[in-house]
Amino acid sequence: MNMVDIIQKKKEGRALSDDEIRWFVDGYVSESIPDYQISALLMAIYFKGLSKEETFCLTDAMRHSGDTVDLSPVSGIKVDKHSTGGVGDKTTLVVAPLAAALGVPIAKMSGRGLGFTGGTVDKMESIPGFRTSLESSEFLDQVNTIGMSVIGQTAHITPADKKLYALRDVTATVDSFGLIASSIMSKKLASGSDAIVLDVKVGNGAFMENQHDAEILAELMVEIGNNAGRRTVAVITEMGQPLGKAVGNSLEVIEAIETLKGKGPADITELAERLSGIMIYLGGKAKTPEEGLEMAKEALADGRGLAKLREFISAQGGNPKVIEDYTLFPQHSVQKEIYAESSGYVTGIEAGKIGLASQHTGAGRATKEEDVDLSAGICLSKKVGDKVERGQLLATLYGNDLFKLENAAITAAAAFKIEEKNVEKPKLIKKIIGL
Ligand code: URA
């Protein structure tokens, strides 16, 4: 086989065969095919697309490019959850304990944040002592004993996706349906759960900026999952404004804890209950998704979700006292407030700009090598639809470098739109596919 012929074929819009796809994936991982030829192929794929069959095959080739996780030592129907990435998305920290509290085994691998979307692993590392890296036997034992574990994804899972994603990032070829779907689903399939719930974000803070595109991506991922024998459901959710009020690592963990105490923002509470309800249903613990939702609401209201979070933090070496005492989290030394320059209603808070501003406070990284400031980030005082008076607080930025905060504040302030006439609050859950 020859890489030039494969690039030429895709450039002409013809479908690649299974053998050709597996050959270029293997060749890229084993370094017999150079970056420049794969870059050319990615650009051809970007313009000509991938058929469903090509996408299934690419997913499978990437899934088997490294280790796959065998969750068979864990009894029960294991259910995974994945978000396509948003600003302020701390849902995993609420959803996983709720589903686990109701007997659904959660054996989850999460990533670190890059760009303006945060990663669950960074968030969990803001808990003093918390270990995100466990031996596989420890990981499985923990799921069997307390019902859940969340760890960082190891380097040996889907190495093809790691290399391809890094190359896509620097060749402007990230935003392709087939490439996104195969990248996400190869990791989910390699991680071994029996069922998968996907939270597909739509809006200016997400990969998919409009509902139509989000639906195409969601349907494709659901098909890939089901085709591979894993029951898969996608929930399309709003990411025009940040989720909840906190953006930044420890700030988001605190908001997740508050949510499990029943005091969280309405949007994160609604989304967490809905997603865990579906997971409870897929995990065979409820007869319908509606019954799952009711069970999730009860587990949140009576504190079982919070108790499970406490158990989980302790099991992974973290200090569970953070649940009562937020001063145990890494602390900021400086803060900067943003005030409204006019009166009216908040009609928009661009999630993308808040994400960028949060990254500039030190809470996010622009390159994989950068360290994050676990105390840094932004707390919103207003959400879309809220009334605001001139001079009222819109948001507070936290961190350890005033110069960074002052720069970040300019971006954060530009995210807010204040108008005389109010708008309808955006619908959080837009569509569910695959139920
Ligand atoms: N997340 C992934 O893991 N891969 C993509 O391509 C996009 C988002």
Q: How far is the CA of 184 from the centre of ligand 1 (A)?
A: 5
Which residue do the tokens 């659901």 mark?
222
Under 8 Å between Cβ of 120 and 97: no
pLDDT of residue 154: 82
Q: DSSP string covering 89-117, please?
A: --THHHHHHHHHHTT--EEEEE---BTTB
Catalytic residues, by residue number, are 82, 161, 168, 183, 187
Question: What is the mean pLDDT, run by run of 10 residues, along the chain of 435 residues?
Answer: 97 98 98 97 98 98 96 95 93 98 96 75 95 94 96 90 90 93 96 97 91 97 97 97 97 98 98 98 98 98 98 98 98 98 97 96 83 95 97 98 97 98 93 96
d(CA 320, CA 315): 9
Cα gap 67→393, rounded to integer Å: 49
First-to-final CA distance of the chain: 42
Distance from the alpha carbon of residue 84 to the mean position of ligand 1, in angstroms: 7
Query: How many Å apart are CA 268 and CA 312, to the nearest integer?
Result: 20
Q: Which atom of ligand 1 is nearest to the CA of 111?
A: 3
> What's residue 368's pLDDT?
72
Beta 195-202 vs 231-238: how paired, if at all?
parallel
* HEC-encoded secondary structure of 233-296: EEEEEECCCCCCCEECHHHHHHHHHHHHCCCCCHHHHHHHHHHHHHHHHHCCCCCCHHHHHHHH
Number of Cβ within 10 Å of residue 381's Cβ equals: 17
Distance (Å, whole) CA 239 – CA 87? 7
pLDDT value at residue 114: 66
Q: Is 114 in the pocket of ligand 1 (CB under 6 A)?
A: no
Q: What is the pLDDT of residue 365?
A: 82
For the Cβ of 165 lying below 6 angstroms from any atom of ligand 1, the answer is yes
Residues in contact with 48: Cβ distance below 8 Å, sequence separation at least 6, in sequence order: 10, 11, 12, 13
Nearest-angstrom CA–CA distance, 332 and 400: 6
Distance CA 313, CA 315 (A): 6
CA of 5 to the centre of ligand 1 (A): 27
CA 322 centroid distance within chain: 23
